Amino acid sequence: MADKIYHVRSSMTEGWKITAQVRKHTLVIDQPSGGDEGANPLETFLFSLAACISTIGKMVAREEKIELRGIEVDVKAVLNPAGLVGKESDDPVGFKSFEIVADIDADLTDEEKMALLDKTCHRCPVHDNILRASLATHQIA
């Protein structure tokens, strides 16, 4: 298949609020110390991971003719905030670890549910970006 390009442009508005237009949707990210009008960037990242796993899980279940009644994904991540506030640390600036727990509502054994989750995580682009570094460049406009 050919590569598909995704694009988001964000704008900082008042305080710490950041908005982006994505297709027909306005996304809002904010800080609790700002207007608290949305999740912060780190929470949004974790939500992206959980949502991607849920979406890909539904796709995999459909392909395998599994009646998936629902899936709830709980993501916990550990981060040492030293780097993001400009302090020296031997820890990465980003998350050090992720714990993903999926509650899969389907007529499957625990072993079959785990196999579904393994296949799902293997196909999830957000999960893959956590496991393997992607090329990221930055420049000024």
Model pLDDT for residues 74-129, shown as the tens digit of each residue = 999 999 999 999 999 999 999 999 999 999 999 999 999 999 999 999 999 999 99
Split into its structural domains, the chain has a count of 2
Place of tokens 């982006």: 20
Q: Does some domain include residue 139? A: no
Closest by CA to 115, choosing from 130, 126, 104, is 104
Residues 31 and 55 in one domain: no
pLDDT at site 55: 99
Q: Does some domain include residue 136? A: no
Residues 48 and 104 in one domain: yes
Residues 118 and 98 in one domain: yes
Which range marks the domain in which residue 15 is found? 1-38
pTM for the structure as a whole: 0.94
Q: Does some domain include residue 81? A: yes
